[in-house]
């Protein structure tokens, strides 16, 4: 089948949530994506090659040392932003990485920058329903209620077209709350 699968954004969102949990546990985001590359999930040849190399390694101390080295620069631990920027250098159109960059900005309270990154994510993958949801949250946090509601309406249309019942429910409930 040509083009993206209708529910591909759901699989990406599930993988994204797993990656975000791993990052919160202190694991390097780049390492998580490289591990996924070994299972054929990454998009770039470099990630796939590194993933194959990692998949062939034995579990144990050697792998732990490599992960520890990957998480640190000479100045100390690598920030999430640094990890994401490195991934963007490899594939600047990966909607998962664009979404994660938006999430990091939102978490830091920089809603204006978060909205720009959500827009980039949606430009790369217009069917990424949860990017609409979180973009609306960032807009609402900045007091832009009308723009947030318009974003949710657009996201709802996308979710309905994909027959994504979970996204329809969540976006619809948020829209009702916002307009109610």
pLDDT per position as a tens digit, 21-52? 444 444 444 454 444 443 333 333 333 344 44
CA dist., res. 17 & res. 30, Å (int) = 14
Neighbouring-strand partners of residue 77: 72
Q: What is the pTM of this model?
A: 0.59
Neighbouring-strand partners of residue 73: 76
User: 8-179 has which fold?
Assistant: 1.25.40
CA dist., res. 126 & res. 132, Å (int) = 9
CA dist., res. 20 & res. 27, Å (int) = 9
Q: Where are the domains positioned within the chain? A: 8-179
What integer pLDDT is reported at residue 11 of this predicted model? 56
pLDDT in tens, 103-148: 999 999 999 999 999 999 999 999 999 999 999 999 999 999 999 9
Pairing between β-strand 72-73 and β-strand 76-77 as defined by DSSP bridges: antiparallel
């Amino acid at each position: 089948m040509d083009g993206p699968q209708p529910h591909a954004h759901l699989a990406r969102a599930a993988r994204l949530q797993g990656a975000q949990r791993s990052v919160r546990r202190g694991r390097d985001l780049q390492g998580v994506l490289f591990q996924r590359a070994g299972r054929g999930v990454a998009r770039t040849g470099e990630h796939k090659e590194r993933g194959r190399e990692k998949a062939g390694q034995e579990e144990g101390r050697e792998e732990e040392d490599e992960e520890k080295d990957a998480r640190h620069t000479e100045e100390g631990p690598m920030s999430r932003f640094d990890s994401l920027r490195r991934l963007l250098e490899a594939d600047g159109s990966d909607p998962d990485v664009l979404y994660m960059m938006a999430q990091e900005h939102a978490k830091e309270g920089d809603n204006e920058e978060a909205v720009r990154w959500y827009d980039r994510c949606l430009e790369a993958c217009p069917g990424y329903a949860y990017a609409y949801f979180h973009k609306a949250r960032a807009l609402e946090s900045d007091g832009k209620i009308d723009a947030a509601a318009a974003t949710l309406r657009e996201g709802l249309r996308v979710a309905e077209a994909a027959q994504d019942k979970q996204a329809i429910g969540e976006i619809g409930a948020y829209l009702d709350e916002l307009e109610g």
